[in-house]
Amino acid sequence: MALQLRPNCEYCDKDLPPHSPDARICSFECTFCAVCATEKLDNVCPNCGGGFVPRPIRPAHEWRPGISVEKHPASTKRVHLKYDLEDIAAHSKRIMDIPPEQR
């Protein structure tokens, strides 16, 4: 099963196309831009509390049959946070000093 490759930052709604090196994801594929992940969220996913890593780039070229962004396109469904900004800030502050691997 391939990653969803969500099309936008869930915080600021910035476009994050499948080839964007700016996309960050958590283990649940929550997607944010690098600026929001580090500066607004302090490397704390507001949904699950996990940390972020750069989202992999899906190959544009079909190097192996059926394996490419053309054959497995990115999602077009935009996702937005369900929490308000005050709740997100409190959530991040509460656990930001705990390393992601210990959350």
Supply the pLDDT for residue 1.
75
Distance of alpha carbon 73 from alpha carbon 55, whole angstroms: 15
> What's the whole-model pTM score?
0.90
Edge-to-edge, what's the strand order for the sheet holding 31-33?
31-33, 23-25, 53-54
pLDDT above 90 for 2: no
- Angstrom distances, CA of residue 98 to CA of 12, 40, 41, 87, 93: 25, 17, 14, 18, 10
- For residues 38-43, give the mean pLDDT: 97
Note the pLDDT of residue 102: 96
Summarised one tens digit per residue, pLDDT across range 52-101 is 999 999 999 999 999 999 999 999 999 999 999 999 999 999 999 999 99
The ranges assigned to domains in the chain are 23-94
Is it the case that residue 38 has pLDDT exceeding 90?
A: yes
